[in-house]
Structures are given as C-alpha cells and as structure tokens.
Structure 1
C-alpha cells in the first residue's frame, strides 16, 4: 500500500491490530510477507517499488533506510486499514470474517484492482462466494510471470476465504 501512514497512532493488541477480521488478515500478511527492517528492492522487479517491514511500499520508502519494530507495526496497522476500507467500498455483499480477512490480505498485496472492477468483485457482490474465493487463485503473477510464492499465498488466502484454513 502506498498511502503515507500517521507518525503516531493508537495501538491495539500485540501489533496494533484490533478485531478478528484484521487479526486474521494480519496473520496472513505476516506469514507471507515476513518482516524486514531495512528497505529492500521488490522481488519481482529487483528495484522499485522499494519495500520495508511487512511489505509496505510508498514514496517515503528509500533504499538505505531502516525501520524499527514499532514503526513496522504502525505501518502494518495503517496499510491493513486502507485495504479493509477498499474491500468494504467495493464488496457490498455480506461477508463472513474469514472472507473479508482473505480479501484484505489479497488487497494489501495486490492493490484495489483485485476487489474493485474484477470478476472476483462481481461474483462476491452476486453472493457467489465459492466463485469469488476461487478467483483468488488467478492472481499469482508479478511483472507478468507466475511466481511460486504468489501461487502459494493465493492458495492460502483462498483456503481462508473458503473457511477451510487458518493463517
């Protein structure tokens, strides 16, 4: 996610994430992103977008910087809140907690296009959650090529979406 986070904020829970939905999403993101305190190049491009912490990107992230554990927690909380707002804006059908959490994780990783203007969005808004969850598997490419890590991540998000897996 690329919106600049607040410099301070109310901290809830162990990593600043409150509520079951965001807790599940945070666990998925942390599992697949890991945490890295020094800024590093994007694995798909070998350059921009530069990344830090739990997969945070943005214009303020520059090579040579190092973030703290607390800063990374604040970034994760902020980025997940943005992803949740996007999911809730574009998916109007009722969602179970695990469905919303899986879409927040995918939106965090991919951006709004996975839930806004996609086949996944159309299926979810029609109440076809079997089809919507299955659509997650299609989003496994970066820089135009299939990435094994993204394939595995989407399988995990799909399992959570379908209610048959936990992060």
Structure 2
C-alpha cells in the first residue's frame, strides 16, 4: 500500500492511496509558489519544521551565473515558435492565447504573468523568454555536478524548458552525465519524444536538435527531420529483413572494413558488423540502423 500527495495548479492537493484519491484539500491557489518550488529544486526529500523553529536567513536570490548561449536560445525560439505576430495601428504586436490545456500563453511559450487580452511587442516577447528561462538556467546549474561546456549547458536548458526541471532532475540523462558519461547522456535525449505515451514528430525533432547541440554539432537540420526506415535483426520467429536498403547497408559496412556478404539479408553477420561499427564510432550499440548510424555510415 502506498500513499502520496499530488499538487494541482488550481491549488487543490489530493491525497492518493494505491492510485485512488481519498481526500482533497482546497487551498484556493495558495500552493502555487510551493508547486514551483518543488518543480525547480533537485532536493530529494522535505521535512516539516517544528512549531517553535526559527526560520533561517537566506541570502537574496542572485541572477544565474551561467546563461544559455545564442544557439540554445535560437533553438528554443525555432521550436517554440513565435505565436501569431499581428499588425496593428501602433505596429507589430503579439497577443496572448490559450494553449491546448487552457493555459494563457504568449510569445515563445511564456506563461508566467500572462492573462487574457495581453499584448506585447516582439522585443518584449524576447525579454519575457529570457526572464522565464532564468529559473531553468538555475535548475541546470544546480543539477549538473560535472564540468560542461556552453553548448551542453544550453541543450539541457532547452530540454528543461520544454519538459520541466523536475523531468531533468529525475532523468537517466542527468544521472549518466553526472557520472561523466557524456556520450551515453547525449543518447538519452531522443528517448524523451513522447506525450501521453505517443511519439510526437515535433518532440522527436527537438530532442535530436538538443542532442546535436549537446555534442556541438549542427542542429538546424533537425527542424525538418523525418524518421526513415529502421534496419535491424528480426525478432526470433520473424522473417529476416531484406531488400535494397539492407544491400546498401552491407556495402557501406564492407567499405568500412567489415568482411560480410552483400546478399540483401539482415542476418547475424550483418547484425554483428553493425554493433561493432557502432562501438567503434561511439554510437549507441543496439544493432539498430537508425538515422545516426546511417549518417555516420554515409547511407
């Protein structure tokens, strides 16, 4: 039997036992700041101070010492999109809109302090974005325990801005990164491409762009990325994958120095060669010939 509290943005706090709600506390929205505090702290537990405890002094919050770079900011802007730039008598403006779940949003996905009928300029939208990103910059700086470069930092800020800081704190990506496993951490980005259990093309593109930025590679090509046919060894009892795609793969592997037969059938020898190639090139060693393996092979 397990029991926990679940906080909702409208201020309700539900007590859940074995996935069933058993109690609700209506706080009239006063837990909003607490929700944000929980979302942006890497703390793994909380305690309740005794009634006679004296609250400690806390220094004034400082602006993050590290900021997202221009490439990271551009990546966020390109994927978030500037919502409906309009032309009025006073010039161009942007108006607040409700996102798919009813949250008032403006500019490049900003929600803090946004209300119905709000109008801002493009310059104000950029300032709002930079301001809203600050808390994600702080979250990344607090979460990462190893030395990372500006591109790696910026990719993580973009990831957190879209998925939430809590998602980063609890991710295998962060765990691997803090172990100094940079390539393995980079390979975790594409795994975060689902919403509601469904793979979304927009998320697949963004995660690959963030991975590329993390590795200091060109990321803009992923703005229009589309999944290609994946080649891999068939599951037991299933017919072997075959055809011209496999033949081209085998030719590329032979060119890379592997002694395999070019017969158009994805058998064990081809699978072994693919895994060895992936290991040599420090790719994910999974035997799956996806876009990254294709790119390095040149097919």
The interval holding the TM-score normalised by the smaller chain is 0.7 to 0.9
Aligned partner of residue 53 in structure 1, secondary structure: coil
Over the residues paired in the alignment, what is the CA RMSD in angstroms? 2.2
| Equivalent residue, structure 1, for 2:57 | none
**Residues 63/150 of structure 1: CA separation in 2 closer, same or farther (3 Å cut):** farther
1:101 corresponds to which residue?
A: 154
Residue-pair matches, total: 147
Distance (whole Å) between structure 1 residues aligned to residue 183 and residue 140 of structure 2: 17
| 1:81-160 equivalences in 2 (<5 Å) | 81-160=134-213
Deviation of 1:20 (Å): 7.8
2:132 maps to which of 79, 83, 91 = 79
Q: Is 1:106–1:114's contact at 8 Å kept on the other side of the alignment?
A: no
Superimposed CA distance per residue, residues 86-112 of structure 1 (whole angstroms, 9 cap, x where no aligned partner): 101111111011111111111111110
Following superposition, the deviation at residue 139 of structure 1 comes to 1.4
Q: Report the Cα offset of residue 121 of structure 1.
A: 0.9
Compare CA radii of gyration and give the structure with the larger one. Answer: 2
Q: Deviations over 1:113-147 (max 9, x none)?
A: 23212111101100111111111111112344321
Q: Which residue of 2 aligns with 1:14?
A: none
TM-score (norm 1): 0.78
Check conservation: 1:40, 1:63, Cα contact below 8 A: yes
**1:49 aligned to 88, 103, 115, which one?**
103
- The match for 1:70 is 123
Does residue 28 (structure 1) correspond to residue 75 (structure 2)? The answer is yes
Unaligned 5+ residue runs, structure 1? Answer: 4-18
Distance of aligned partners of 1:82 and 1:101 in 2 relative to their CA distance in 1, 3 Å threshold:
same
Distance 1:50 1:150, change over 3 A: farther
